Amino acid sequence: MSGIQNMSAVLDMLCPMHVMISRTGHITHVGATLRKLRPELDWVGARFLEVFALKRPRAVTSIAHLRESVGIKLHLQLRDAPATELKGVAVESGSEDALIVNLSFGISVVDGVRTYDLTHADFAPTDLATEMLYLVEAKSTAMEAWRKLNLRLQGAMIAAEEQAFTDTLTGLKNRRAIDHVIARALERDSQFALMQLDLDFFKRVNDTLGHAAGDHVLQTVARIMVDETRSEDTVARLGGDEFVIVLPDVRDVAALRRIGARMIKRLEVPIPFEGSDCCISASIGTVFFEPGSGADMRRLLDDVDVALYASKRAGRGRQTFYNKELRHKLHLPVHAGPDDDQASVIERPSSG
Amino acid sequence: MHGLIYRALQCFVTDSYGPEKWAEVALTADLGFVEFEAMLIYDDALAPRLIAAVGAVLGRSEPDLMEDVGTYLVSHPNTEGLRRLMRFGGVTFVELLHSLDDLPDRARLAVSDLNLPQIELHEYSCSHFSVFCGTSIPRFGHVMMGLLRTMADDYGVLALLEFQGGAKGGETVSITLVETEFAKGRSFALGARAS
């Protein structure tokens, strides 16, 4: 029998999760680590198939079947909770129809180590279990670093996109943003109004008080325009002293007239800058987009330009709503139809 | 050089001396940016400049400084993950020493483009060792000394470490074990999650 005892000692070192089974299917010896999975269990004498359920191959329901499955990969599970899954392989041992089944946690090693509070010493030195645990932790740490990098890059991307659509001096939207807003509104084919606003006498402020005063005026103007519009309206600075406002779902001329008048009135209040007063006004052209009219962006911008030009011609500091007659009055070419893509010949009124 | 290495230096300064000091370092080293990204690769030439800048800003000699970096890496709560990874190296401090040769391979297993300097353990007796470190990271020998001194404490081992100087493209640290069960050491459970 010393051969068997020798064998147990060898297996305890090499395979601390092995179990020895007699011809009758009773456990005769168990490795120290496997024992840790059920420290209360009276292992020796217990029936192997009452402690473990064999999941695959399914046909194995008796020790005789198990004996036929030597050398192939077994999928087992502890019958009582926690029902840890194990991988195993059975081999025949000695002359008395005894079996040895060696077990391992397989891919569940991380959970296994946690559940049973195992240590380095519970695995054979050649077992790759600790290397696997190391790798799992190292990978999670590296993944966490990647995740953080991606979050920072995403933040930077959002900021860059925001910046790409923002006029940095005033914080208003820029031309690129307003093109996008108008295009979206046209796609939806829903009612909206488009106002174009040019400052009057702005050039004079720039020329006499300098660019710092000009910048201050533009920032003040931007604030007033945002104040006087709704949160769903989009206010943009196209550049210089030109501004555009898109007002969705607006069809009331009187309401727009009130907004325009209030804006001009507030802009005409002298803006103090370093002891001087900056006096400006504003001319506004306004056009409505009617759903189903088929007007495109180019046509709308052309029309709003005509209305703005009319305001300038009529003496500045006022708002004009676009209609076809304006073109006759101003001796400008009239659109032939919605698809007319004749280029506008309107000269931009110079600012100030 | 891998961003993780630069980032480690940045976290050392930020966690120990505050973000303002790090901003000063970035300015002194003329980085042109403030934050290193852990997962990007940076120019090797930055390393000596950066270490010199940290030394200048903190008023520390470079060897002292880099030894502190080694200590920081395996003892600060923010780097607990790294301490755990080191503890996977062995059940005892001596086993850890024997696993040092594998450290660059272990690092590459975690992050495939992370190249640590070559590390070689020499065993003279059961209580006397030396570790030879390559210097592809400047002053890596001092980092190793701080790291091993702290890991010895972690295992509850009393060890004397001494920097033996640089030669032949490497730096050597000698290790003398005085007592292997000097103190209880810090706990380490294989299955615990690093926070």
Best B79, B92, B190, B195 member to test A by mutation, with max A CBs in 10 Å, is B190
Side-chain-side CA neighbours of residue B134 (13 Å): 11
CB contact under 8 A, A141 and B189: no
| Ordered alpha helix ranges (H), chain A | 2-14, 32-37, 48-51, 63-68, 109-116, 129-164, 175-188, 202-209, 211-227, 253-267, 297-313, 324-329
Chain B contact present for A125, CB below 8 A = no
Chain B residues touching A139 at Cβ < 8 A: 110
Top mean-pLDDT range of A2-6, B135-139, B145-149: B145-149
pLDDT (0 to 100) of residue A334: 66
pLDDT (0 to 100) of residue B154: 94
- Determine the distance in angstroms separating the CA of A24 from the nearest CA of chain B, rounded to an integer: 37
CB contact under 8 A, A120 and B4: no
| pTM assigned to the model | 0.65
CA separation for the pair B28, B57 (Å, rounded)? 8
CB-nearest to B190 from A119, A145, A148 is A119
Chain B contact present for A221, CB below 8 A = no
Preceding omega of A57 cis (within 30 degrees of 0): yes
CB contact under 8 A, A146 and B39: yes
- Express each pLDDT in B67-104 by its tens digit: 999 999 999 998 888 898 898 888 899 999 999 999 99
ipTM of the prediction greater than 0.90, yes or no: no
Q: What's domain B91-179's superfamily in CATH?
A: H-NOX domain (3.90.1520.10)
Percent of chain B scoring above 70 in pLDDT: 98
Chain B contact present for A150, CB below 8 A = no
CB contact under 8 A, B91 and A142: no
- Determine the distance in angstroms separating the CA of B56 from the nearest CA of chain A, rounded to an integer: 29
CB-nearest to A149 from B37, B84, B85 is B37
CB contact under 8 A, A138 and B190: no
Domain limits, chain B? 3-60, 91-179
Chain B residues touching A110 at Cβ < 8 A: 191
- Determine the distance in angstroms separating the CA of A151 from the nearest CA of chain B, rounded to an integer: 12
> Which residue bears the tokens 């006087």?
A228
Question: Rounded to whole angstroms, what are the CA distances from B128 to A70, A112, B86, B93, B120?
Answer: 49, 37, 21, 13, 14
Chain B residues touching A108 at Cβ < 8 A: none
CA separation for the pair A209, A187 (Å, rounded)? 44
Preceding omega of A82 cis (within 30 degrees of 0): yes
CB contact under 8 A, B88 and A133: yes
φ/ψ of residue B115, rounded to 5: -105, 110
Q: B148: closest CA among B86, B101, B81?
A: B86
Question: Rounded to whole angstroms, what are the CA distances from A130 to A124, A143, A184, A224?
Answer: 10, 20, 58, 67
Q: Which residues contact A45 (CB under 8 A, 6 or more apart)?
A: A26, A27
Percent of chain B scoring above 90 in pLDDT: 73
Chain B residues touching A152 at Cβ < 8 A: 37
Side-chain-side CA neighbours of residue A145 (13 Å): 22
Chain B contact present for A114, CB below 8 A = yes
Q: To the nearest whole number, what is the mean pLDDT of chain B?
A: 91
- Determine the distance in angstroms separating the CA of B59 from the nearest CA of chain A, rounded to an integer: 31
Tokens of A144: 């966490």
Chain A residues touching B84 at Cβ < 8 A: 137
* Interface of chain B toward chain A, CB-CB under 8 angstroms: 4, 37-40, 81-82, 84-85, 88, 90-91, 106, 109-111, 189-192, 194
Radius of gyration of chain A (CA): 42
Chain A residues touching B91 at Cβ < 8 A: 119-121
Q: Which residues contact A10 (CB under 8 A, 6 or more apart)?
A: none
Residue A209: count other Cβ atoms within 10 Å of its Cβ. Answer: 18
CB contact under 8 A, B191 and A146: no
Q: A87: closest CA among A34, A125, A137?
A: A34
CB contact under 8 A, A139 and B194: no
- Express each pLDDT in B101-119 by its tens digit: 999 998 998 888 999 999 9
> Which residue bears the tokens 């702005």?
A202
What positions of A carry a catalytic annotation?
241
Q: What is the CATH number of domain A2-127?
A: 3.30.450.260
Q: What is the CATH number of domain A175-329?
A: 3.30.70.270
- Determine the distance in angstroms separating the CA of B75 from the nearest CA of chain A, rounded to an integer: 16
Chain B residues touching A134 at Cβ < 8 A: 85, 88, 106, 109
DSSP-derived 3-state class of residue A147:
helix
CB-nearest to B39 from A113, A135, A145 is A145
Question: Rounded to the nearest 5 degrees, what angle is found at the Cα of A212, between the Cα atoms of A211 and A215?
Answer: 85
- Low-confidence residues of chain A: pLDDT under 50: 336-352
